[in-house]
Structure 1
Amino acid sequence: MEIIYQEKEKRFHLRNDSISYIFQVEKDKYLQHCYFGPALTSYHQSNPPQFIDRGFNTNPISSERTFSLNTLPLETSTQGSLDYRIANYQFLNQAGNSVTAFEYESYRIYDGKPRLSELPTLRGSKAKTLEIVLIDSIQQLKMILHYSIFTDSSAITRSVTFENLSNTAIYLENAGSLMLDLPRCDYDLVTLNGAHTNEANITRQKLHPGIQRIDSNRGTSSPQHQPFLALANWNTTENSGEVMAFHLIYSGNFIAQVEVEQYGTSRVQMGINPDTFSWKLDPKAIFQTPEAVMVYSTTGFNGMSQTFHHLYQEHLVPKTWQKKERPILLNTWEGNYFDFTETDLLNQADKAKELGIELFVLDDGWFGQRNDDTKALGDWFENTTKIPSKITGLAEKIHEKGLQFGLWFEPEMISKESLLFNKHPEWALQVPNYPLTQGRQQLVLDFSKEAVQDFIIDMLTGYLQTGKIDYIKWDMNRHLTEVGNLTLPQDQQQEIAHRYVLGLYRILQTLTTKFPEVLFENCSSGGGRFDPGMMAYMPQTWTSDNSDALCRTRIQSGYSYLYPPIMMGAHVSDVPNHQVGRITPLKTRGLIAMSGNFGYELAINQQSETTLSEIKKQIQFYKKHRQLLQFGDFYRLLLPTETAACAWLFKNEDEALVVYFHGLAQPAQKANYLKTYYLDHDALYQEVNSQAVFSGAELNHAGLLIPRIKGDFETCYFHFKKITSTKTV
């Protein structure tokens, strides 16, 4: 890994063993992008931009009509002159003008990677960083472009710092984190789209002229669009071909877009959504954008996923949880909803312990007058009618049974029917003279206010400092409306959406630093805020409120583009399924849930003895394979469709597990051979159940016969132990 500056060419080359990223200073002012792709040992510009005198081009040097920023591949956009493509930043000054003129000034290269102020970021002990300083000398503005490259990853991170060096305030109206100009436009655009209970659908379409954009203006990253896009060659598959992927480490309103411009080039841009953003940059003030991650793969979408998985597990999630096994849990929600007593809970805990479950989680309904979802959010004191022993006493009783104890909170919300709202109505997000719009009969607390942040920190600290709570499920069940408050002046109201996210990060940073041994699970009605910003504090996310096994094959496959299975909460629930009404076999529900972060969410005391016996065997199976399932490399062998099969592979140096989901049963079933692709080519593997021995090469290329399966939504698995290398046989 190194970052090279070639003085004569004024060229920067970031490279490691797998990738290179190259740009140079043009005309002593502008940053011209040159290359992003597989590692190059040297670069001498065999691919220079083509300079042509084109109609309607503007020319910064009037005598050079072939040189125009309209067409030059750039590292950052210009504004108000010279470049008409989508912008990565925009200022508005006191005179009402938006023109800037940033020019290259200097650079700095250093070991490591800095933490970003107030924002989550990848850790960078195995990284090198390049900073490029650009100055607008007319308005006294500074822009710093940050690039970091890792020793062991096909990834580069990007972010931008804006600084006002003048004595006059200016407004930053677009704060992009990343921009990349590419010489081609014949890519497929890949995104993850969806809805509540139908998250992370893989969408692939050809780029076309104009702007293709996904975004969120909901206050969160949202279940509708993951803050991610990828560009792939038309022939790229799961196992082969080139992919460039871009992911934003941010939990609020974002934009990710690609413009195909008139001469066949593409511009990728990603950052905070400018539609809901403005920031007053006072004299000498600094604004830092969120960090964006760029990944390059030459081995298809699974290669892309491997990079993201290892990068996030090693450099993003809290260090305490990087290699720490996650417990098997029982969550009370679907089994009880709001209807329970302390005696009921303790009886369930007894049954959970008998089955081998390790963590008992009390979900919604334990506090205030919370007997349904219409009231009491914000009143975070125990309902002693339901729990006479209070939370501390209940937790002690759960611990005495040999289980860990977890508790549900929805800290960002407030009910109009609550003691907290009666005391602090000004703490809800609101705009003067407009009604307070409710969602799920609740409002959103204004996390841009430090007093609100402190209230949540103090409340949760009160519970956590007892040492009785091992796990927190942090929920967030509605999006933001009336994003304003009664405190900030008029010209700063557009800052509130971003200030909200910064306030959330401050709370999470404070709590996870104070209580590093507490396992926090991120949730927003499932995957409503499943993003790398949250993963920096909470190492796992409740993937979707939809726990149906067929739906989960699609949802978990989609999220696996970016996140390893250990980050995806996945539960076995009752049938008929509470979300879609489907009945699937318990074996299938178990294997699909084991392919994520495993748990149960059902009425445990209402199950038959046959069901309980099978659950106990599932738990024994999972514990036996937990290291492989939680920390092994994960690959998609078959992507699911609405009705068809799905297959996943987990592997490490010693063993592999193939999980095969059959989908809907079909007549006249054809012979089905599943290629494993990723096993060690030179090794021999023994399938544990049949005792048959195959080489990795044979399984990878000839495939594995899937037995004939009758019945809808059935599953099977194959467990392989590596026994030797074919080179020694």
Structure 2
Amino acid sequence: MGIMVQEHTGLFHLTSSGMSYLIQIVDGYPAHVYWGGRLKHRQRMDDLLIHAPERAGLDRLPQEYPQYGSGDFRNPAYQAELADGTRITELKYEGYRITKGKPPLIGLPAVYTEDDAEADTLELTLKDAYSGLQVTLLYTIFAERNVIVRSVRLRNDGEKNLRLRRALSANVDLSAKPDLDIIYLSGAWAREGNMTRRSLRQGETRIDSKRGMSSHQLNPFAALVTPETTESHGEAFGFSLVYSGGFEAGAEVDAFGSTRFNIGVNSFDFAWLLSPGESFQTPEVVMVYSGQGLGDMSRTYHKLYRTRLCRGQYRDAERPILVNNWEATYFNFNADKLVDIAEEGAKLGIELFVLDDGWFGKRDADNSSLGDWYEDRRKLPGGLADVAERIHEKGLQFGLWFEPEMISPDSELYRKHPDWCLHVPGRRRSEARWQLVLDYTRKDVRDYIYESISSIFKNVPISYVKWDMNRGLTEIGSEALPPERQSETAHRYILGLYELLERLTTGFPHILFESCASGGGRFDPGMLYYMPQTWTSDNTDAVERLKIQYGTSLVYPASAIGAHVSAVPNHQVGRITPLEFRGDVAMSGNFGYELDLTAFTDAEKEIVKRQVQTYKEFRGLVQKGDLYRLKSPFEGNDSAWMFVSEDKREALVYYFQIIAVPNPPRRALRLDGLDPELEYDVRQSKNEERLVYGGDRLMQLGLPLHCKQKDYESQWFKLQALRPSQP
């Protein structure tokens, strides 16, 4: 395992425990040879070698980082404009370097190693002799994970300015894989995470975001799969961009059935000036190979992101069960009401109270005060510290909501600094939700936010922060940037955000940060690097959440998925579902409540108390276990998934029946991920009877289901392996 170089053929062989990735230098161009299941170093590979391009030129050469203008008419991975206005560069191979471990990316989030033995990194250096543009392709391969992490560093070693007009993070030409499908996550606000699958045909399939955020509409992830690929069978090639801004990803099939896939920062409205000696580092893309279907691909992402992307003391810690006051009170609350909800939560075993929007400035609705980060003494006469202390006395931790990237035109901050928002002089400033976007390219703006927020952190006993972001970027310009750098604004905004988050999360490591962007508008690996969990969607309806959470799990671990029980009729769709059903759905992520606990009946409080006790028993398995998706809510009238411990001795199964059907057939749920040699004691949520089944029986014949004839019926099954019998 590691990286083998065959100097005489120009072949680079990157191997993990179950995967190989081959690159060959062909006539000075890095060519893509193979990506798939592991190949042994010692076996013959000369028949895999690619010959120098002849009549067809570069248009038939499978490449690692292709250019445009020299005979390849497919989408390029980069484009540079030179000082004379021309746009022709030709990168040729200069050399390579191999190092142990994985170097960090300065100013950008990235996966990491804790020991250099975990991974090896290959750097391929390319150069355009005419302009002096030098490009370094970075590949990190993990020894025990089927993961390659790629990024690119572009440096101007010439004597004149040049401008990058396109700088993607990775390109792969899969010439040996015809007839592929693409799978990606699509949707909108309140219906994120829809799994979309379509066949690739000649032409281009493209997903992207031009919103300055990764977006509700399309997530910065895609997988190329063979047509026969399912959850447990077939090949899958995953691409996940560690970035929180506008992105693009495209799959282009040429006339010969070769598929080119590339991904990175969106080239639309992007340019980056490189003066002599300056560099540009692209975000990294995490590429995962699976030969055992989508489920194996997902579990590879889950474990990597949970343990080598998330950081800090909460990375491995069990997350607290919370109650958030938003849907309970909206803006209409006072200190006593908050304490009443917290007191009821303490009686039910809840561990954290979160004060949401409305505590600052003169914030009685969502049309004012963003940017005025000081407490509203009308609602909180004793201030935040008083409320936090009173809630602590009830036995709960205290958390707080912020929206630090926005500014309200009706705010003291805007009246004092109208130039601090993203804007173009002389043009209309487009408001959304009565707010504008702060210019995070500016250090003075970031310093103001840091000082405002850190002052609260230092004076109020806060253990949790919900960091919200509720609109896309418009009028993307900055008074602080010169004309020739205005097209850098969107990316510089994200770099500024990352710089601020690094200061806050490292300066206050005791605080658990949760990301939010009107729910899942910025659910991406870039944010997980700073905040180990994300509010998955503003839609808290349990039926809709089956789809949202199922789809999100395609790439993101359950430990990152915020999931709450809310009141009925549901505030987003008006649906009425049983409290037990809502609880079972929410317990499949980071569990909490978003309602008025004081309004519950005694019977409902007993249900909540049982749910809280159950989740405390299960949460370690939910947050760290291997997830197996069993039945898709996108394909039928029910859904199911399960979590399995690493040693396969414990498992937790959830089954959800959405609509009852008359005279149903006998049903059994085939499980996955168990040890076929073990026997499991099965405890049921809806039946006191304890049963024992073999792991082989549960995976081959299934677990018998006995659902009541009612809509929105759910149940869980806790599996515990029995100790081997003594001789």
TM over 0.5: yes
Tell me which residue corresponds to 1:675.
670
Q: How does 1:84-233 map to 2 (within 5 A)?
A: 84-124=73-113, 125=115, 126-183=118-175, 184-233=177-226
Tell me which residue corresponds to 1:310.
303
What displacement does 1:643 show? 5.9
What displacement does 1:490 show? 1.5
Equivalent residue in structure 2 for 1:282, among 256, 260, 275? 275
What displacement does 1:603 show? 1.2
The amino acid of 1:461's aligned partner reads S
SS at match of 1:465: helix
| Percent identity for Structure 1 against Structure 2 | 46
Does structure 1 conserve the Cα–Cα contact (< 8 Å) formed by 2:186 and 2:193?
A: yes
Tell me which residue corresponds to 1:632.
625
Tell me which residue corresponds to 1:714.
713
The amino acid of 2:7's aligned partner reads E
What displacement does 1:339 show? 0.3
CA distance in 2, matches of 1:276, 1:251: 16
Equivalent residue in structure 1 for 2:640, among 633, 639, 647? 647
SS at match of 1:218: coil
Does structure 2 conserve the Cα–Cα contact (< 8 Å) formed by 1:447 and 1:504?
A: yes
SS at match of 2:697: helix
What displacement does 1:478 show? 0.7
Tell me which residue corresponds to 2:5.
5
CA distance in 1, matches of 2:546, 2:185: 15
* 1:581/1:671 CA distance change after superposition, 3 Å: same
The amino acid of 1:660's aligned partner reads Y
What displacement does 1:66 show? 3.8
Equivalent residue in structure 2 for 1:70, among 38, 59, 79? 59
SS at match of 1:107: strand
Is 1:343 the counterpart of 2:332 in the alignment?
no
CA distance in 2, matches of 1:167, 1:392: 57
CA distance in 1, matches of 2:460, 2:310: 22
Tell me which residue corresponds to 1:702.
701
The amino acid of 2:692's aligned partner reads V
Does structure 2 conserve the Cα–Cα contact (< 8 Å) formed by 1:49 and 1:73?
A: no
CA distance in 2, matches of 1:26, 1:650: 46
CA distance in 1, matches of 2:13, 2:204: 29
Q: How does 1:468-479 map to 2 (within 5 A)?
A: 468-479=461-472
CA distance in 1, matches of 2:702, 2:723: 19
Per-residue CA shift, 1:539-568, capped at 9, x if unaligned? Answer: 000000001010000000000011111110
What displacement does 1:219 show? 0.5
What displacement does 1:185 show? 2.9
CA distance in 2, matches of 1:468, 1:576: 35
The amino acid of 1:179's aligned partner reads N
What displacement does 1:447 show? 0.6
CA distance in 2, matches of 1:465, 1:374: 28
Is 1:578 the counterpart of 2:577 in the alignment?
no
Q: How does 1:438-457 map to 2 (within 5 A)?
A: 438-457=431-450
CA distance in 1, matches of 2:242, 2:145: 17
The amino acid of 2:676's aligned partner reads H
CA distance in 1, matches of 2:207, 2:47: 31
Tell me which residue corresponds to 1:460.
453
Does structure 1 conserve the Cα–Cα contact (< 8 Å) formed by 2:186 and 2:219?
A: yes
Tell me which residue corresponds to 1:56.
none
Deviates more, 1:716-725 or 1:383-392: 716-725
SS at match of 2:487: helix
Question: Given the two structures, how large is their TM-score scaled by the length of structure 2?
Answer: 0.97
The amino acid of 1:19's aligned partner reads M
Is 1:409 the counterpart of 2:408 in the alignment?
no
CA distance in 2, matches of 1:487, 1:251: 22
Per-residue CA shift, 1:289-312, capped at 9, x if unaligned? Answer: 000010000111110000000000
The amino acid of 1:173's aligned partner reads R
CA distance in 1, matches of 2:144, 2:545: 32
What displacement does 1:725 show? 5.2
Tell me which residue corresponds to 2:72.
83
CA distance in 1, matches of 2:227, 2:569: 40
What displacement does 1:398 show? 1.4
What displacement does 1:167 show? 2.0
The amino acid of 2:88's aligned partner reads V
CA distance in 2, matches of 1:550, 1:146: 43
The amino acid of 2:22's aligned partner reads I
What displacement does 1:110 show? 0.6
What displacement does 1:45 show? 3.4
The amino acid of 2:302's aligned partner reads H
What displacement does 1:668 show? 2.1
Does structure 2 conserve the Cα–Cα contact (< 8 Å) formed by 1:475 and 1:523?
A: yes
Equivalent residue in structure 1 for 2:655, among 655, 660, 669? 660
SS at match of 1:721: strand
CA distance in 1, matches of 2:324, 2:99: 47
What displacement does 1:67 show? 6.0
Deviates more, 1:266-275 or 1:690-699: 690-699
The amino acid of 1:85's aligned partner reads R
Question: Given the two structures, how large is their TM-score scaled by the length of structure 1?
Answer: 0.96
Is 1:723 the counterpart of 2:716 in the alignment?
no
Per-residue CA shift, 1:395-447, capped at 9, x if unaligned? Answer: 12211221100000000000000000000000011011111110001101011
SS at match of 2:104: coil
Tell me which residue corresponds to 1:57.
none
What displacement does 1:48 show? 3.9
The amino acid of 1:284's aligned partner reads G
Per-residue CA shift, 1:256-284, capped at 9, x if unaligned? Answer: 11000111100000000000210011110
Tell me which residue corresponds to 2:232.
239
Per-residue CA shift, 1:502-557, capped at 9, x if unaligned? Answer: 00000001111111121000000000000000000000000000010100000000
Does structure 2 conserve the Cα–Cα contact (< 8 Å) formed by 1:309 and 1:564?
A: yes
The amino acid of 2:108's aligned partner reads L
Does structure 2 conserve the Cα–Cα contact (< 8 Å) formed by 1:353 and 1:401?
A: yes
SS at match of 1:319: coil
Tell me which residue corresponds to 1:514.
507
Tell me which residue corresponds to 1:547.
540
What displacement does 1:610 show? 1.1
RMSD: 1.4
CA distance in 2, matches of 1:79, 1:170: 16
What displacement does 1:199 show? 0.2
Tell me which residue corresponds to 1:491.
484
Deviates more, 1:70-79 or 1:208-217: 70-79
The amino acid of 1:605's aligned partner reads T
The amino acid of 2:654's aligned partner reads V
Per-residue CA shift, 1:180-237, capped at 9, x if unaligned? Answer: 0011330111010000000010001100111100000000000100101111111111
Does structure 1 conserve the Cα–Cα contact (< 8 Å) formed by 2:171 and 2:262?
A: yes
Deviates more, 1:351-360 or 1:397-406: 397-406
SS at match of 1:199: coil
What displacement does 1:151 show? 1.9
Equivalent residue in structure 2 for 1:367, among 360, 379, 394? 360
The amino acid of 1:662's aligned partner reads Q
The amino acid of 1:37's aligned partner reads G
Does structure 2 conserve the Cα–Cα contact (< 8 Å) formed by 1:376 and 1:414?
A: yes
Tell me which residue corresponds to 2:262.
269
Does structure 1 conserve the Cα–Cα contact (< 8 Å) formed by 2:180 and 2:199?
A: yes
Q: How does 1:5-84 map to 2 (within 5 A)?
A: 5-27=5-27, 29-42=28-41, 44-45=44-45, 48=48, 65-66=54-55, 68-84=57-73
